[in-house]
Amino acid sequence: MTANAKSKDITACIDDHPPYQILGDTPSGIHIAALHKLASLLELNLKFVQSPNFARCVALLENGDVDVIAALTPLPERKNFAFFTPFKAADSLRVISKDGIQISSYYDFKNKVIGVSRGVRYFTRFDHDEWLQKIEIQNVRIGFTLLKKNRIDLIMVSPAMIETFSKEIQEANLKVSPIALEEMRNKETFFGFSKVNKLGITEAEIQQKVLQAYQTGYFE
């Protein structure tokens, strides 16, 4: 990145993903707090682009219209346009299903209609499993609505999201299944930075600073 292209700002794309990202005049949430710390670490001003879904954020990152996304999975195809640095340990993953559906293992996904948030990657085996019946949804909030309307059978969320949507889960008599998927997933959550960002800081410098901060618990 040339000096004349350097920006004093870092622009993050965020979508509706409570409790991690809550849109509004003053965005809030777990990942929003981490983005504020990132901006402070890099001595930049934080700006937000609010998106209707995660897939749109990824497209903006690829084009260099935003500089960073919190919680971007480092897939091989994304490494063509982004580089990655961990900022926290990955949350565990649980299954929320309609009453009467028990999910005890991965094989119980068979013959179920599964809601998957647009642009989100869960874990490699699931993401590439063409035998499963997966329906794209706008976000988890929409997923709960579709569960209550019996349009889908299950979604996968973190314990933090279960707490956030506890009222919806109880009112709709939904089931939280204790399936263990952690061995199939990434152990860390990553910032994804656009390779054509305008931060004026090299990829190596960003990765070194963020990694060192992560290892000392800076983002916690």
Domain residues of the chain, as ranges? 3-90+187-215, 94-184
Residue 203's pLDDT is 96
Report the mean per-residue pLDDT for the chain. Answer: 91
Tens of pLDDT, residue by residue over 140-187, are 889 999 999 999 999 999 889 999 999 989 988 999 987 766 555 668
DSSP string over the chain? --GGG--SEEEEEE--BTTTBB-SSS-BSHHHHHHHHHHHHTT-EEEEEE-SSHHHHHHHHHHTSSSEEES----GGGGGTEEEEEEEEPPP-EEEE-TT----SGGGGTT-EEEEETT----HHHHT-TTSEEEEES-HHHHHHHHHTTS-SEEEE-HHHHHHTHHHHHHTT-EEE----GGGS-SEEEEEEETT--SSS-HHHHHHHHHHHHHTTTT-
Find the mean pLDDT for residues 24-48.
97
**Cα–Cα dist 38/112, whole Å:** 40
User: What is the architecture of the domain spanning 3-90+187-215?
Assistant: 3-Layer(aba) Sandwich (3.40)
Find the mean pLDDT for residues 15-28.
94
Q: Give the bridge partners for 94, in sequence order.
A: 157
Paired tokens of 162: 């279960």
Q: What is the CA radius of gyration of the chain?
A: 18
Single-letter code of the amino acid located at 50: Q
Neighbours of 188 (CB within 10 A): 14
Find the mean pLDDT for residues 32-50.
97
Give first-to-last CA distance, the chain, whole Å. 30
Percent of the chain surpassing pLDDT 70: 94
pTM metric for this prediction = 0.81
Give the pLDDT band of residue 6 (cuts 50, 70, 90): low
User: What is the architecture of the domain spanning 94-184?
Assistant: 3-Layer(aba) Sandwich (3.40)
Residue 96's pLDDT is 94
**Cα–Cα dist 174/8, whole Å:** 47
Find the mean pLDDT for residues 71-79.
92
Q: Which residues contact 135 (CB under 8 A, 6 or more apart)?
A: 113, 114, 115, 116, 146, 151, 152
Do the domains spanning 3-90+187-215 and 94-184 agree at the CATH topology level? yes
Tens of pLDDT, residue by residue over 85-142, are 999 998 888 899 998 888 888 889 999 999 999 888 888 889 999 999 999 998 888 9
